[in-house]
Chain A
Amino acid sequence: MNKNIKLLMTLGVIVICLFFWSISIINKGIRMDENVNAAWSQVLNTYQRRSDLVPNLVAVVKGYATHESETLDAVISARARATQITISPDLLSNPQAMKAFNNAQNELGNTLSRLIAVSENYPDLKANENFLSLQSQLEGTENRIAVARKDFIEAVQEFNSYFRIIPNRWILKTFSDLSYKENFTITEQAQQVPIVDFEK
């Protein structure tokens, strides 16, 4: 009788310990998940910022670079494609959607850098104060994109490795709705960084 009570009490203590231990693991996972979300919204913010710059930039370039309608059209349509992609909440755990999103944004980045490169041929444009201001804003925005992407990659790496480690994986998969997240790949990151060079 006495022994049984002791056994029950030890079991109870073990169960309570396990319970709180699992809760702490889940809570840490949730915090990391929130970090990933915050980093992701920062990525979206910076892309939005770039997207907002495009109309002004196109308008200024149009006034000077009359023979570059092809490059300008490419920028405009790339921007349209990038803004068309609806950002659903499950984007982070959907490889295809993530890839499409990335491709569209990379395309816009590439067309923009081509536009800046082309504008080097127009001295009047390069002397235009409006253009210089937009160019530095674009350069700053590209840099912010690179920073936001790097932060996002780090946040996802941290989350994913936490998510995959053995006891965490069992606990998180059974007791929480958190899931493994898609990350940007390194090659995309490498493509993304050096886009606008002020000096050239």
Chain B
Amino acid sequence: MRKKILFGFYLFIILLFSSFVHAISFPNLTGQIVDAAGILTPQTQEKIRTVLALSDQTVVVTIPSLEGLSIESYGYQLGRYWGIGNKNKDDGVLLLVAPNERSVRIEVGYGLEEILTDSISSTIIQTLIIPEFKKGDMNAGILNGTKGIVSVLTGKVVSVEEKTPVISGKSMIFAQMEETTHDELLLILYITILVIIMIWASRRYSSSSNREQTKEFINPKIALSRKVSHFKRENHFRGRGGKFGGGGASGKW
């Protein structure tokens, strides 16, 4: 009996310390909308999703708890943890809402600090988000804020994208191939790399969707539902190693 109590006590101590080690438990990055606090209705999520389609490294997050941190401290660490934003552009943005702490923050990646400046972020929070939050309409506030952020970003980002079109991994290899057509050995090397990449990519995706694909041939209903869920699922969304340095603004209501 006594041993059991002691054992329980040790277990408690160990759990306590392990919870200190992993001080912050961040939610999983399930898509461009992470509603961990569960305050967004499906309709709002759908609207936000269409807005976010214009800005692929902007993420809307609601969290149930800041775990005792300030929202400023939580925000940049979450951004770094997820790696929102492209690696060398650092163009990630988080709209972070902590309803229980009544705090909201726009966390801006290094690369966008000149576009989505602190004062613009602050204006978005004070004029678009907080008035709705004060009325108690979280959904409208978050939607408004997202629209504000994306319209500021797309005003400039669109032209930036025209200058440097995104080259996918495959086409980059083809481009390199064209440069070195004379060298047959290199060509063979590139084809080998391409094949390896294709095998790797097919393995990565087949593990999740292979079964469903085979069912498609049998049941068209499943195929349709799969397409819909594929559209909704956003499982492919990932951070791309963007960096954060504390830029942005926050507010309370």
Residues of A within 8 A of B (CB): 42, 132-134, 136-137, 139-141, 143-144, 146-148, 193-194, 198-199
Contact = CB atoms under 8 A, between A and B. Distances in A.
Contacts of A132: 119, 122
Contact of A143 (B117, B246, B252): B246
Contacts of A199: 251-252
A141 B113 CA distance: 11
B84 to A, nearest CB: 16
Contacts of A133: 119, 122
B119 A148 contact: no
Given A132-B122, A133-B119, A146-B72, A140 B251 contact: no
Interface in B233-253: 244-252
B245 A139 contact: no
B247 A144 contact: yes
B252 A140 contact: no
Contacts of A193: 70
Contacts of B56: none
B198 to A, nearest CB: 35
B72 A136 contact: no
A143 to B, nearest CB: 4
Nearest to A151: B245
A42 B245 contact: yes
Contacts of B121: 136, 140
Contact of A148 (B118, B246, B251): B246
A194 B69 CA distance: 12
B245 A136 contact: no
A140 B245 contact: no
Contacts of B249: 136, 139-140
B82 interface: no
Interface in B65-84: 70, 72-73, 76
A143 B244 CA distance: 12
